[in-house]
Structure formats: structure tokens, C-alpha cells
């Protein structure tokens, strides 16, 4: 068994061999996880193999642990996610585990078998020009996709560790991109620096005032187009950090405000909602 500590009182272990029952212990078992909460925090054991470690892990955790009430908010979700990835490290090499994570995630996204693949495919089709700035990049899979197509890409995110990981990974993958650590509403780049600015599944993490500020910044940064994608949810998914819900009517309201400001704005639905702003 490989055991690695994680933050926030969460401990993740990778089990080996068949599942063992837990008589008399307050444990919840799902098809891929065994969990137990004690005074020390949350313990999670999983049976995932390195080949199964990818960004799809977020969907699995939401279905098997968040939907049944095991996880308490976004911090625990992120800590379990990180712990699972690191638990597949070989020879104690956490970077090796993250390389596996990136390789698997990119393969599934670009082959079309990941649940988020249609979003990336549509976003790539909407990009115009060769210079792209991506706001709220997180792990940076979409910037890496564009870099693989030969585009000049800058990824941005608030998380310095995530941008550092992306910077190292993009070099190893031969898909060079620039990374900038910043608030998506205050990007230290000049106006009109990009042909396209992408804002993919970021606005749902922000309240309406903050999301409006991000759109203002995206329009400042672009010469030609802003591409925005949001999920359509009945209730914002808290474990993902979502605080705002969108539907077509909400996007049409935003589009109408931009049209009044002289920006051409279109809205459509495809695996969620899309807002495209053109100068």
C-alpha cells in the first residue's frame, strides 16, 4: 500500500488487492473508494491504477463521494483529488504522478472520450488568430491543446503552484506556453495583446460582480474575440467551487449589455452555454 498525507486533515491511501469488509467500523464504501471520518479527519482509500488517473477523477469524486455527502466542500474535494494523484507516484516522485495525470488527461480530452472534450473542441473551433490568452486556466489542458496546434498561448491563474506545475509540464510535453499568476480581472498584460481571450468554466466560480469584471478584462485584452463557456446547472456544484448558475436567459442578459456597449455578442448552447464577444 502507498500512503501519502494530504492537507486539511485528509489522508489518502492507494489500496492493493481485493476489497476488505469493515465490520463494526463507521466506513462508507463505494465502488472505487473506502472512506472513514474520525476526530483526526477524513481517510480515503482507493483502488485506482495509474492508467485511470486523469482529470475525469473530478467527475468520479463528485459522483461517488460528494453526492453521498462524504466530502465537506471544495477544500476536501481538492485535497482528496490531489492525494489520489500523488498516491500513484512511483519511487516517491510526485512530479512523476503529475506527468501521468497530464498524459492521461490530454489523451482523453484530445481523443474525445473525456466528458469535457466537447467543450474543448467547441472552444478551439471558436478561436480566431494565433495569439490566445486563457483566463482561469487551472491545470491548463486547453492552453496545452492550443499550443499543440502551434498557437501562441498564455495561461493565467491565481494559483502559483498550479502555474508552476503547468510551466514545467508544458516544457516536458514540447508544448511551450507562457504562464502568468494573476487575478483574471487584473491581468498584467497590455490591452489588445491577444487575438482571442478564452474564459472557459471560470465565471461560475465567481459572483456576478466579479464575473462582470473578468469579462471587462477579457474585452480589454483582446483585439478580436472573447470566448466564454459556462456549465448549465440546476444548483451550483459546491465541491467544484461553483457559486453562480447560468442558463440561456442569463447569458442573453449579459450579451444584451455588451451589444449596448457596441460589442457584437452571440449566445448558444452546446454542452453548456456559450457567449462570444466580437469587436
pLDDT of residue 3: 34
CB 131 within 8 A of CB 194: yes
Question: How many angstroms separate the CA atoms of 86 and 83, rounded?
Answer: 5
What are the residues facing 33 on neighbouring strands?
46
The CATH superfamily assigned to 116-278 is Vaccinia Virus protein VP39 (3.40.50.150)
pLDDT of residue 26: 74
CB atoms within 10 A of CB 59: 13
**Residue ranges in the chain whose pLDDT is less than 50:** 1-6
pLDDT of residue 108: 97
pLDDT of residue 27: 85
List C-alpha distances in Å: 108 to 1, 51, 56, 152: 27, 11, 9, 23
In the chain, CATH 3.40.50.150 sits at 116-278
Sign for the CA dihedral angle at 173, 176, 181, 187 comes to negative
pLDDT of residue 92: 64
Question: How many angstroms separate the CA atoms of 170 and 180, rounded?
Answer: 14
pLDDT of residue 4: 35
Burial of 177 per CB tally in 10 Å (0-12, 13-18, 19+) = buried
Tell me the whole-structure pTM to 2 decimals.
Answer: 0.92
3-state secondary structure 20-40: CCCCCCCEEECCCEEEEEECC
Question: How many angstroms separate the CA atoms of 130 and 65, rounded?
Answer: 41
Amino acid at each position: 500500500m502507498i500512503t501519502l498525507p494530504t492537507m486539511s486533515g485528509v489522508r489518502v491511501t492507494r489500496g492493493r488487492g481485493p476489497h476488505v469488509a469493515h465490520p463494526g467500523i463507521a466506513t462508507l464504501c463505494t465502488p472505487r473508494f473506502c472512506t472513514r471520518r474520525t476526530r483526526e479527519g477524513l481517510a480515503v482509500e482507493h483502488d485506482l491504477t495509474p492508467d485511470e488517473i486523469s482529470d475525469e477523477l473530478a467527475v468520479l469524486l463528485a459522483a461517488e463521494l460528494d453526492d453521498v455527502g462524504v466530502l465537506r466542500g471544495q477544500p476536501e474535494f481538492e485535497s482528496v483529488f490531489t492525494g489520489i494523484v500523488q498516491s500513484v507516484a512511483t519511487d516517491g516522485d510526485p512530479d512523476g504522478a503529475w506527468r501521468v495525470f497530464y498524459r492521461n488527461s490530454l489523451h482523453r480530452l484530445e481523443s474525445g472520450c473525456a466528458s469535457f472534450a466537447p467543450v474543448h473542441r467547441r472552444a478551439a473551433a471558436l478561436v480566431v488568430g494565433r495569439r490566445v490568452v486563457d483566463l482561469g486556466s487551472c491545470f491548463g489542458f486547453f492552453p496545452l491543446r492550443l499550443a499543440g496546434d502551434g498557437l501562441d498561448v498564455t495561461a493565467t491563474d491565481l494559483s502559483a503552484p498550479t502555474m508552476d506545475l503547468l510551466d514545467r509540464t508544458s516544457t516536458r510535453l514540447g508544448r511551450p506556453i507562457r504562464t502568468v499568476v494573476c487575478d483574471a480581472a487584473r491581468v498584467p498584460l497590455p490591452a489588445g495583446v491577444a487575438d482571442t481571450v478564452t474564459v472557459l468554466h471560470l465565471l461560475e466560480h465567481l459572483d456576478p460582480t466579479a464575473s462582470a469584471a473578468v469579462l471587462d478584462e477579457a474585452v480589454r485584452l483582446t483585439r478580436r474575440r472573447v470566448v466564454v463557456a459556462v456549465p448549465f446547472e440546476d444548483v451550483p456544484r459546491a465541491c467544484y467551487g461553483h457559486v453562480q448558475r447560468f442558463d440561456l436567459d442569463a447569458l442573453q442578459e449579459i450579451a444584451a449589455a455588451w451589444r449596448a456597449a457596441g460589442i457584437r455578442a452571440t449566445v448558444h448552447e452546446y454542452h453548456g452555454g456559450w457567449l462570444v464577444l466580437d469587436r
